[in-house]
């Protein structure tokens, strides 16, 4: 019996040895091109050389290499059939290159940080071809699109859609020349049909809207107002010398029939972008991987790395780095600064990175001093937004802006004909200029149902821990989409005074950086107190899936412009000021040009309205920190584990849901919102008050940046004039925040254009 057992054990041991030898042969065959040369022949740090690398997830790279990353010219093959051939810089596709998809689609042109960015040509598998400008994977700028069905577009693009001036020609030779917005004919334009008839005039959302003229081929014409709403239609018929005195057909019906045949082709969709295929090279020490073949039970230093695209997106693909007495991989930036520190046992250590920001504010629950005020506010909003109202045009009458245009509503606890019963005290609710703010919400594309759910749903509001310098309190909705600020009577007057100009400005400039206002209201509690609380509802600039690691409130002045918090207490919720600023912000060329134009337009508007003391609020999400947060120590694996087998068991492709989510993220990028950019760290060599902007150090970080102009309701009134006069005796007048609006605007612009630069 014992002999039989011993024989079984020997047979099992022989099987184990055979299996281990086979595994070693497979590993050696996989890494044949990665055989380690003698130490004397190994390239030193910063030395460019040619190599071939089998990536542990099954991908393959051949080309120039430096410091553990592709650098120079190289080819990268993915296991799903995608391929990139072109220039690399420190592990990212930067410069000229060609990316091809398994479907046969190709892009050839400029790349930047993994994105299709610059000038390039995309040829789809169905025959679609686009030649022109790209920004971050999207058609943006001047470009020409040939569609597979024979249609053709030449003109301006914005965030992947026709936007600006352009010409679209259908295969049957009908064509439109004019203005576009979000892929639809909007603005002034002319549509010409192949039978000689044409329409010249205004368009909105792909349909004639406003003043326009329809001309028949025989020379007769119809001039009038066009709309989908039949009650708005007016016009006159003008016959030609050769036509009769009556119209041969109804121009509105005829135009509708024509437009049914003029469908804008959507073109071929790119299912996955090159930037989504890029892996994070940080932590992948490919030069030492052949020496790391086995992780034994009880070994330390195991940590999980997730594949990240350059936008900070983390996919489900996982990578394991093994620390078996070798140099530990770490996340580093371009200057070699550690962004993640682990101790000898692989545990996370405190570092100089960024602390994660907790959810801001205190939830207003029953017993909170402002609980009843929150209930009143939610009841009032639900009543205002849910109240039936006629459809409004974006062209408002001047009477809608009258400061006296307000609606009072009583809310007794027992309810009334128009209000529900409630558990709060008796109060009155006031809506200021309700038609204007309803139209602003429409202009800003706010869905009424979503708006009500955010503010008036089952979830409570959150009150920020401390009021602002003005004494106002701030409240956030549960989903962070909206911020509610209590206001002084003087601020309400300023907003109502500037409301016509504000409406005109935000309607004229889609990418304006000024605060978006959605509603202006007042709650008056009846009884002996007769307390009035006025408040405005605004968009929250930092409502995003990205964690904000640093935020700055910047004015361009120095007096008192520094935070009073100790450095150890500063986190993502701390609002830093001008003298705390230790970065300059680098935007891509096309965004930088638009940023400069928009800052000028917004400052001109505020100067004309005699507004001062506004700020540029900036939020930064550091993409390296996304990597840190994903790189958490894992529990140890038991038994034998081969890193090669583990690598090959993971998928290097994003799921369909991930692709759709990323596509939506690209489309959500706009000026000041979700913008990938770079920041460069700065240092001051003198006193902060004498050097408002530090010297650049060359240390660069990839970020997602948010910015907007806030606090735009302070006019240069008598109190600000007295403040300026008083402080001028004690301090340098140029360092004081309270200055004349014209001087304030100039100083603000000068400062902003020093800290925002074009990324070259």
Please give the full DSSP string across 316-360, using - where no structure is assigned. EEEEEE--SSSPPP--B-TT--BS--B-TTS-B---SS-PPPPPP
Separation between Cα atoms, residue 145 and residue 168, nearest integer Å: 9
Place of tokens 């996919």: 315
Its CATH class, for the domain covering 362-540, is alpha beta
CA dist 617 to 103, 455, 693, 711, 714, Å? 44, 23, 17, 10, 16
- Whether residue 159 contacts residue 180, with contact meaning beta carbons closer than 8 Å, is answered with no
Helix (H, G, I), strand (E, B) or coil at 373: helix
Its CATH class, for the domain covering 49-240+251-261, is alpha beta
Separation between Cα atoms, residue 657 and residue 665, nearest integer Å: 12
Residues 6+ apart with CB under 8 A from 431: 380, 384, 406, 407, 409, 437, 519, 520, 521
pLDDT of the residue at 732: 62
pTM of the model: 0.63
Within the chain, which residues score under 50 in pLDDT? 1-3, 5, 8-9, 12, 15-16, 19-20, 22-40, 289-352, 355-357, 626-656, 659
Angle at 53 between CA 49 and CA 55, to 5 degrees: 145
pLDDT of the residue at 176: 92
Its sign, for the CA torsion 102, 108, 111, 115, is negative
Round to the nearest angstrom and report the end-to-end CA distance of the chain.
79
Residue 602 — left, alpha, or beta (φ > 0 → left; ψ -120 to 50 → alpha)?
Answer: alpha
In this structure, the chain runs to a length of: 760
CB atoms within 10 A of CB 487: 21
Both tokens of residue 631? 């790189």
pLDDT of the residue at 32: 41
CATH of 544-624+670-759, one of 3.40.50.970, 1.10.40.60, 3.40.47.10, 3.30.810.10: 3.30.810.10
Helix (H, G, I), strand (E, B) or coil at 597: helix
pLDDT of the residue at 726: 60
Q: What kind and span of H or E run contains 29?
A: helix 2-30
pLDDT of the residue at 532: 87
Angle at 209 between CA 160 and CA 518, to 5 degrees: 70
pLDDT of the residue at 444: 92
Q: What is the mean pLDDT of the chain?
A: 76
Where in the chain are the domains? 49-240+251-261, 362-540, 544-624+670-759
pLDDT of the residue at 393: 79
């Amino acid at each position: 019996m014992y002999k039989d057992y011993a024989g079984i054990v020997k047979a099992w041991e022989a099987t184990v040895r055979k299996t281990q030898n086979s595994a070693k042969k497979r590993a050696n065959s996989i890494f044949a091109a990665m055989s380690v040369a003698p130490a004397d022949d190994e390239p030193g740090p910063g030395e460019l050389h040619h190599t071939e690398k089998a990536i542990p997830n099954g991908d393959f790279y051949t080309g120039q290499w430096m410091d553990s990353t592709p650098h120079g010219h190289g080819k990268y093959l993915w296991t799903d059939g995608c391929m990139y051939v072109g220039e690399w810089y420190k592990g990212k596709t930067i410069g000229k290159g060609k990316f091809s998809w398994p479907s046969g689609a190709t892009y050839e042109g400029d790349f930047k940080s993994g994105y299709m960015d610059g000038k390039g040509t995309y040829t789809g598998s169905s025959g679609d071809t686009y030649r022109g400008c790209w920004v971050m994977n999207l058609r943006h700028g001047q470009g020409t699109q040939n569609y597979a069905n024979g249609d053709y577009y030449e003109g301006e693009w914005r965030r992947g859609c026709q936007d600006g001036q352009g010409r679209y020609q259908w295969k049957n030779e009908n064509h439109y020349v004019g203005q576009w917005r979000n892929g639809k004919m909007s603005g002034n334009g002319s549509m010409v049909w192949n039978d000689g008839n044409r329409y010249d005039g205004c368009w909105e959302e792909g349909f004639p809207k406003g003043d326009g003229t329809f001309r028949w081929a025989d020379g007769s014409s119809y001039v009038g107002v066009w709309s989908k709403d039949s009650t708005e239609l007016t016009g006159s018929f003008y016959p030609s010398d050769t036509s009769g005195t009556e119209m041969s057909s109804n121009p509105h019906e005829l135009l509708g029939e024509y437009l049914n045949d003029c469908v804008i082709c959507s073109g071929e969709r790119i299912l996955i972008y090159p930037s989504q295929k890029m892996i994070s090279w940080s932590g992948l020490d490919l030069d030492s991987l052949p020496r790391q073949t086995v992780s034994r039970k009880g070994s330390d230093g195991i940590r999980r790395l997730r594949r990240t695209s350059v936008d900070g997106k983390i996919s489900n693909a996982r990578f394991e780095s093994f620390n078996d007495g070798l140099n530990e991989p770490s996340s580093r930036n371009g200057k070699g600064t550690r962004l993640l520190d682990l101790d000898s046992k692989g545990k996370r250590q405190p570092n100089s990175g960024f602390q994660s920001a907790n959810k801001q504010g205190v939830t207003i629950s029953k017993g909170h001093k402002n609980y009843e005020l929150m209930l009143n506010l939610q009841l009032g909003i639900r009543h205002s937004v849910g109240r039936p109202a006629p459809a409004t045009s974006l062209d408002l009458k001047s009477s809608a802006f009258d400061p006296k245009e307000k609606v009072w509503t009583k809310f007794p606890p027992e309810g009334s004909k128009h209000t529900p019963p409630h558990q709060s005290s008796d109060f009155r609710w006031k809506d200021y200029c309700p038609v204007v703010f309803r139209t602003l919400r429409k202009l800003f594309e706010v869905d009424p149902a979503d708006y009500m759910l955010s503010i008036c749903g089952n979830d409570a509001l959150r009150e920020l821990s401390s009021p602002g310098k003005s004494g106002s309190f701030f409240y956030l909705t549960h989903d962070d989409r909206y911020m509610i600020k209590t206001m002084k009577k003087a601020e309400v007057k300023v907003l109502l005074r500037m409301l016509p100009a504000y409406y005109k400005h935000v309607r004229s400039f889609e990418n304006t950086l000024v605060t978006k206002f959605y509603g202006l209201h007042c709650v008056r509690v009846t009884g002996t107190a007769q307390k009035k609380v006025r408040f405005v509802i605004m968009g929250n600039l930092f409502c995003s899936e990205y964690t904000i690691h640093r935020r700055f409130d910047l004015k361009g002045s120095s007096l008192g412009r520094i935070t009073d918090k100790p450095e150890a207490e500063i986190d993502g919720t701390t609002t830093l000021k001008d003298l705390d600023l230790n970065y300059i912000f680098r935007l891509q060329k096309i965004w930088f040009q638009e940023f400069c134009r928009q800052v000028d337009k917004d400052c001109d508007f505020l100067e004309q309205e005699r507004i001062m003391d506004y700020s540029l609020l900036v939020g930064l999400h550091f993409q390296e920190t996304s990597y840190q947060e994903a790189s958490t120590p894992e529990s140890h694996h038991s038994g034998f584990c081969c890193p090669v087998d583990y690598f090959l068991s993971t998928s290097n492709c994003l799921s369909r849901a991930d692709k759709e989510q990323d596509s939506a993220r690209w489309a959500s990028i706009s000026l000041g919102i979700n913008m990938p950019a770079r920041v460069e760290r700065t240092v001051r060599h003198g006193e902060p008050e004498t050097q408002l902007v530090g010297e650049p150090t060359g240390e660069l970080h990839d970020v997602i940046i948010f910015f907007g102009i806030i606090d735009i309701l302070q006019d240069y009134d008598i109190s600000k004039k007295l403040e300026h006069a008083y402080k001028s005796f004690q301090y340098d007048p140029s360092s004081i925040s309270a200055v004349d609006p014209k001087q304030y605007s100039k100083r603000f612009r000068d400062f902003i254009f020093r800290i925002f630069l074009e990324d070259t």
